[in-house]
Amino acid sequence: MSTRLWHNHSFIRLWVAQIVSNAGSKITDVALPLTAVLVLGASPAQMGLLGIAGSLPNLLFGLLAGVWVDRSRRRRLLVGADLGRAVLLASIPLAAWFGKVTFLHLWIVTFLAER
């Protein structure tokens, strides 16, 4: 039975997509605070605000989002969420390229991209 699973192309695509998504999330968990400290010289209070920005969406929207997710097409939602996060996170190096990275930008990206 387990060998059949590895021949299922849909499972393989989902599995690889989740590995890439989870790896990106873990890198982001380290890179965003490091960017705040090393690039912007964030204070401890600002780092606390960045942590709050990562927790607030769950607190504010968690229950309603759960109901909405249960009633929608999951594949489209997973792909859309990952692509949206990729665009948000790509805005940080793009802003750095132009020398426009601000703490507010990092805070907004953290708030919107947190899963």
Q: Where are the domains of the chain?
A: 27-113
Q: What confidence tens digit (pLDDT) does each residue in 3-50 have?
A: 687 888 888 988 898 898 888 889 888 999 999 999 999 999 999 999
Q: What confidence tens digit (pLDDT) does each residue in 51-94 have?
A: 999 899 889 988 888 888 888 888 888 888 888 989 999 999 99
- Is residue 89 within 8 Å of 113, Cβ to Cβ? yes
**pTM value?**
0.80
**SS3 at position 5:** helix
- Alpha-carbon torsion, ordered 89, 59, 61, 42, to 10 deg: -30
